[in-house]
């Protein structure tokens, strides 16, 4: 898919849709198609030349990769410019491909669909900020509500305000006043989508010392977000240049993205701000998938895909899930979902150096490129696989990771990790062996039940198994026994 935006062009290539795909390749080119459109009403001529050059690379690169389907979508700049149709015609003439120019309502819907892929019960206001427009849609616990498109893209706002931050704030307020309060989401969430807002999230994370450098589902209280956005919106160019991790081309318009965010949060009064790493591209991709794929849980789907590409004769995650079930007789559906994900990820570090398996598995899991994960979920899964590889969950170096967990959750995570360690030791990570054994939980004892036949027991009995069964039982306040 090639996304032709007001500021950037981006090529994203996804894996074949056997299940919910994740990007295999992602590259952007900052062309500035929408620069100057506020005054001229036309696409930026230099931007058009850069866009066509980038399209030439992207289209040929997709062909070299063997991409079976290539969608071209365009947003506000091409939609609003008087010469937008000419640009679309030129692309068709040069490359033989049709550009689908999205309406503001379509942009908002696709952005919300991308968000819902990871947050099915999202409730509040979704805002997708591009260079040329702000596209918004209300979501009522996963159900689409009203939508609106405002000319508040970061490029357009910078031009309309003459580069004056105070004026930009007034423009934002005036545009929202015309909506007569229809976008108010008091007590709910505002979901921020778009590259400029992701840049703001990186600054927020850096400045607050937040423990996890992952944008998707990064959540902050409205009052704190307003304070940070107001601060960034008032910074000059020299101050912006001292902020690490921000591309030079973002610097000029980032304060205006901040002013838009500040205004939205003050006017729509959500309870919290949630940044999303997913948007219209993911929404468009999901829309084209078969229904059986569309309805998959993105976390579980991603973990299955990762385990399948692990390259070992690894035991199946579902086999471990069933085997460990007796340890969790009262778990909730959401707890079982995370336990399933941990089982699927439990062999993620098999090819790492033994001295670093726990550490590498932890950090790899914390940064999984999947939707459907809160930051607390990431902490749970990361620490579970860390324990599975004999890591100490109370390690002082992991204070920041433990801070992602809810109170009292670490004991549950430790039980999962130790159970995974026992499962892999008992089976040698080979499939089919666990099903011949079972765990039995009583008031005082955790028992491992082995087959009656000596020939079947020979492959399962060992001092290492007994030692790890004892560790698991001790963590649960129980005695261990092999029967």
HEC-encoded secondary structure of 367-415: CCCCCCCCHHHHHHHHHHHHHHCCCCCCCHHHHHHHCCCCCCHHHHHHH
**Count of all residues that appear for the chain in the document:** 483
Q: Look at residue 423 and tell me whether its pLDDT is greater than 70.
A: yes
Q: Look at residue 21 and tell me whether its pLDDT is greater than 80.
A: no
Q: Is the dihedral angle over the CA atoms 144, 145, 151, 152 positive or is it negative?
A: negative
CA distances from 305 to 284, 300, 301, 309 (A): 21, 9, 6, 6
In the listed set 76, 101, 126, which residue is the last one of a domain according to the structure? 101
User: CATH number for the domain including 216?
Assistant: 3.30.420.150
Q: Lay out the sheet containing 219-221: strands in order across.
A: 143-150, 134-140, 124-129, 189-193, 272-275, 219-221
Q: Is there a domain that residue 163 lies in?
A: yes
Q: Is there a domain that residue 262 lies in?
A: yes
Digit-coded pLDDT (tens) for 266-282: 999 999 999 999 889 98
**Contact between 346 and 324 (Cβ < 8 Å):** no
Report DSSP state, residue 315.
Answer: P
Structural domain boundaries, residue 65? 2-101
**pLDDT score of 286:** 84
Residues 304 and 368 in one domain: yes
Q: Is there a domain that residue 288 lies in?
A: no
Residues 249 and 111 in one domain: yes
**pLDDT score of 282:** 87
Q: Look at residue 241 and tell me whether its pLDDT is greater than 80.
A: no
Distance CA 228, CA 210 (A): 14
Distance CA 188, CA 216 (A): 18
User: CATH number for the domain including 356?
Assistant: 1.10.3210.10
CA 91 to chain centre: 32
Digit-coded pLDDT (tens) for 88-122: 999 999 999 999 999 999 999 999 998 988 888 89
In the listed set 101, 132, 150, which residue is the last one of a domain according to the structure? 101
Unique residue bearing structure tokens 């599975």: 388
**pLDDT score of 19:** 61
Confidence at 248, pLDDT banded by 50, 70, 90: confident
Q: Which pTM was predicted?
A: 0.89
Digit-coded pLDDT (tens) for 364-376: 999 998 888 999 9
In the listed set 246, 281, 316, which residue is the last one of a domain according to the structure? 281
User: How many domains does the chain contain in total?
Assistant: 3
């Amino acid at each position: 898919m090639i996304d032709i935006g007001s500021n950037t062009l981006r090529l994203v290539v996804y894996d074949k849709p056997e299940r919910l795909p994740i990007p295999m390749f992602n590259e952007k080119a900052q062309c500035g198609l929408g620069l100057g459109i506020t005054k001229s009403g036309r696409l930026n001529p230099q931007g058009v030349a850069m866009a066509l050059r980038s399209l030439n690379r992207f289209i040929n690169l997709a062909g070299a990769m063997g991409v079976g389907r290539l969608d071209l979508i365009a947003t506000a700049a091409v939609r609003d410019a008087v010469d937008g149709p000419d640009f679309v015609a030129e692309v068709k003439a040069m490359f033989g491909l049709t550009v689908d120019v999205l309406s503001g309502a379509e942009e908002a819907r696709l952005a919300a669909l991308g968000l819902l892929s990871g947050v099915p019960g999202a409730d509040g206001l979704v805002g997708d900020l591009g260079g040329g427009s702000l596209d918004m849609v209300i979501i009522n616990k996963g159900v689409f509500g009203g939508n609106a498109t405002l000319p508040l893209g970061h490029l357009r706002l910078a031009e309309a305000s003459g580069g004056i931050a105070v004026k930009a704030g007034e423009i934002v307020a005036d545009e929202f006043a015309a909506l007569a309060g229809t976008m108010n989401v008091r007590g709910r969430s505002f979901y921020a989508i778009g590259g400029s807002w992701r840049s703001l999230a990186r600054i927020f994370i850096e400045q607050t010392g937040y423990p996890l450098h992952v944008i998707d589902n990064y959540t902050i209280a409205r009052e704190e977000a307003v304070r940070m956005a107001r601060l960034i919106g008032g910074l000059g160019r020299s101050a912006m240049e001292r902020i690490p991790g921000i591309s030079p081309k973002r610097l000029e318009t980032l304060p205006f993205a901040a002013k838009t965010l500040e205004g939205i949060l003050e006017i729509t009064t959500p309870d919290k701000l949630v940044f999303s790493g997913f948007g219209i591209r993911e929404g468009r991709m999901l829309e084209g998938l078969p229904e059986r794929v569309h309805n998959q849980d993105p976390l579980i789907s991603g973990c299955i895909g990762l385990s399948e590409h692990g390259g070992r004769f690894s035991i199946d995650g579902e086999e471990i899930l069933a085997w460990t079930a007796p340890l969790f007789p009262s778990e909730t559906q959401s707890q079982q979902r995370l336990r399933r994900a941990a089982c699927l990820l439990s062999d993620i570090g098999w090819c790492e150096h033994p001295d670093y398996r726990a550490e590498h598995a932890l950090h790899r899991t914390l940064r999984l490129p999947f939707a459907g994960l809160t930051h607390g979920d990431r902490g749970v899964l990361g620490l579970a696989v860390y324990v599975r590889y004999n890591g100490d969950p109370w390690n002082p170096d992991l204070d920041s990771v433990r801070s992602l967990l809810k109170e009292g959750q670490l004991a549950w995570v430790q039980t999962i990790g130790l159970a995974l360690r026992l499962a892999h030791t008992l089976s040698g990570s080979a499939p089919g062996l666990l099903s011949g054994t079972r765990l039995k939980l009583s008031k005082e004892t955790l028992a491992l039940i082995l087959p009656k036949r000596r020939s079947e027991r020979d492959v399962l009995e060992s001092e290492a198994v007994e030692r790890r069964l004892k560790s698991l039982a001790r963590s649960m306040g129980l005695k261990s026994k092999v029967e």
